[in-house]
Amino acid sequence: MIGVERRKTNKLMVGEVGVGGDSPISVQSMTNTDTRDIDATVNQIKRLEEVKCDIVRVAVTDMEAAKAIKEIKKRINIPIIADVQFDYRLAIESVKNGVDGLRINPGNIGSNNRVKEVVKACKERGISIRVGVNSGSISKEMLKKYNGVNEDSIVFSCMENIRILEDMDFRDIKISLKASDVILTIKSYKKMAELVDYPFHIGITEAGPVWNGTVKSAVGIGSLLAMGIGDTIRVSLTGDPVEEVKVGKEILRSLNLIKEGPQIVSCPTCARTQIDLIKLVEEAQRKLEKIDKNIKVAIMGCAVNGPGEAKEADIGIAGGKGCGLIFKKGEIIKKVQEEKLLDELISEIEKL
């Protein structure tokens, strides 16, 4: 990103995907199927793969779910992380069944011996652990010490969990510190960034329904990334996980952190617009999703300002009355009837 130096961190691997260090920032999501329903879970992961999800997480709620990972893994192409709460046996079973990463808090597992068993299993297979605290899971001691929920209680509660792993000489750790409050999340990650070199999984937890959650996540995740903080991201939305990945990718794209696929630039329309630009942009978006080219496509309402305002776009259209212009890098190349405009644009894009 222009002018932003990324925070230096250790690097770890989640399957084939690097997290931290010089690895590209990855986008994760989590399935909302019953992990024991292998077909449903695989189908959802396949849909996530189609929108280029880098890592997927599944909830492991019992032994059957832990064992299902083996079959799920055979049928998918992206790394899979097991999300385990409290029961260390589920973590170990998930590792045995080939999971690529674990999300578990050592402080919730119980005795040191149990944590040691999980750590041993992870070390043997080179598996990383995400340690995370969110505003609802701060330890009682830290809540008391720091007078309630704030960045100090979140960060130092997480440090308690990190220390348990470090004391066992385990350092393949990534950290998450999520709150549904954007400012609190940002303050927490900033504080933690001063204390450790572990990579960060960032996101705004319980961000809400798709529209509101998208805005909230873009503000929170985008602010952190613009400060150089964040190595893997997850957008949490109450909706289809596919939307989470699309939003995550768009956040990275808007900060020039990835150049995957076409980026649409379109004008807000005004009294000069004489074509149905909103419909045109919606249709173009659907068609462009299937095109695998790193290009900027402008869709502008008028020929007066359109081509000029979108000069930096690789290709674009500018609406007129019943017709439109197709331009490349600000230069007009042809005039087309309105009803043929989109097809013509796509055919020109295919030639690029």
Instruction: List interacting residues with ligand SF4 (CB under 6 A).
Output: 267-270, 272-273, 300-302, 304-306, 309
What gap in Å lies between CA 264 and CA 249, rounded to an integer? 13
User: Rounded to the nearest whole angstrom, what is the least distance from the CB of residue 352 to ligand SF4 in the complex?
Assistant: 22
* Residue closest to 83 by CA, chosen among 68, 66, 98, 97: 66
User: Rounded to the nearest whole angstrom, what is the least distance from the CB of residue 298 to ligand SF4 in the complex?
Assistant: 9
User: Rounded to the nearest whole angstrom, what is the least distance from the CB of residue 336 to ligand SF4 in the complex?
Assistant: 17
Kindly tell me which of 183 and 270 has the beta carbon lying closer to ligand SF4: 270
Kindly tell me which of 51 and 299 has the beta carbon lying closer to ligand SF4: 299
Q: Which residue is nearest to ligand SF4 (CB)?
A: 301
Kindly tell me which of 167 and 312 has the beta carbon lying closer to ligand SF4: 312
User: Rounded to the nearest whole angstrom, what is the least distance from the CB of residue 303 to ligand SF4 in the complex?
Assistant: 8
> Residue 18: beta bridge partners?
13
Kindly tell me which of 3 and 268 has the beta carbon lying closer to ligand SF4: 268
User: Rounded to the nearest whole angstrom, what is the least distance from the CB of residue 288 to ligand SF4 in the complex?
Assistant: 19
Kindly tell me which of 203 and 306 has the beta carbon lying closer to ligand SF4: 306
User: Rounded to the nearest whole angstrom, what is the least distance from the CB of residue 331 to ligand SF4 in the complex?
Assistant: 17
Kindly tell me which of 51 and 298 has the beta carbon lying closer to ligand SF4: 298
User: Rounded to the nearest whole angstrom, what is the least distance from the CB of residue 306 to ligand SF4 in the complex?
Assistant: 4
Q: Are 184 and 151 in contact (CB under 8 A)?
A: yes
Kindly tell me which of 55 and 280 has the beta carbon lying closer to ligand SF4: 280
Q: Tokens in use for 79? A: 């790394």
